[in-house]
Structure 1
């Protein structure tokens, strides 16, 4: 007997093969058999009329803020997404000092078209550092798997303050950003994200902080 059998599904296996009708057996949390005549399951689900497919990995999202109040990352999970990558373009909300919170949100409304009222009402600011942000997500219990970049614009804002959108960083400031990035990577960040696109402007058309990075900052 299998732990679980999902019966009568239209199975799309992710290999590019045509969908096929059949059953899926699961044991110890892993798929063990596909097809028909799989025997009985301790639990059985009738998926007649439904499609069964591998979870979708969404590699470019901006759920950084929303996840602090919506652990389901709606509507993505309802559309089959099981893993979401946040922090893209370097437009993140961590690390973030209290005095920079509202500017960070106002920038997001411009560069990503988010509702400022929703952000101000919804974001749970029970963090400042990047490790504290990941701890918050862990406590809330995310529905999808979440992978997170450490964002360049947030690093610049943390170190340079509001000057982050007006000038290049000094060597000492670059060193501070590197130290914060190393810490972020050590606690679970999957990488570093940045943007130099001319279209990426925040409040009042001011460039997003990462656009002010010079070659030394980018490659140091």
Structure 2
């Protein structure tokens, strides 16, 4: 059982690292308005949007790698990201537009990837606010798309549920690799950072 678990996490991390190859994607691919109309469509969006999927898994991965021990310390980053993602979405629904949303989403991938590589350990509140700042931009992007939709809150609920799920995947993978395969975690982080860097270059070019 232990070997099978390790293989699943290893495959997931290879998938994250391979995302660095996807330099043709935009930082926020977005979807047509008619797709944002239900809990299920909201749930599916982060799972099929490479930028969101990678960012959310990477937050969990970093949180597990940087934690001193199991416990509440693991949750500061994921909770901060999810909470401020929702806050950003609410701002977007209210018509609040932030500058440089696309570059900031790309920068979030670059930064989170470097955090995974370095396994930087910071106080819990700093971790929550650090990743949360970037989460606001992810949320605003979604909120603006959903503004005026009658099912906006259903869709946001689905996105939030998928976000929690992806954080959990990252936490599980990071915890499994804390000691036994440190180089795999660093490879995944480098892939995330490269992916984010490529997207950021596209945005500022």
What TM-score, normalized to structure 1? 0.22
TM-score between the two structures when normalised by the length of structure 2? 0.24
In terms of Rg, which structure is larger? 1
Q: Which has the higher helix share?
A: 2
